[in-house]
Amino acid sequence: MPEEKFEKGRCLATDVSDNLRPHAHGGIACTEEELPAVRRALQRAGGPWAGAGSHYQVKTRRQFDPDGWTAYSERNLTAARKVVGPNVIAASGDLKVAAKALHGRLRDRVIAAAA
**Does the residue 37 lie in any domain?**
yes
Query: What is the arithmetic mean of pLDDT over 18-29?
Result: 85
In a domain, 97, yes or no: yes
CA torsion sign, 47 to 27 to 76 to 64?
Answer: negative
How much is the pLDDT for 8?
66
pLDDT for position 69: 77
Domain-located, residue 86: yes
- Domain interval for residue 90: 10-114
* Domain assignment of residue 3, yes or no: no
* pTM (two decimals): 0.62
pLDDT at 7 exceeding the cut of 70: no
**In a domain? residue 26:** yes
Hey, how many other C-beta atoms are within 10 angstroms of the C-beta on 83? 14
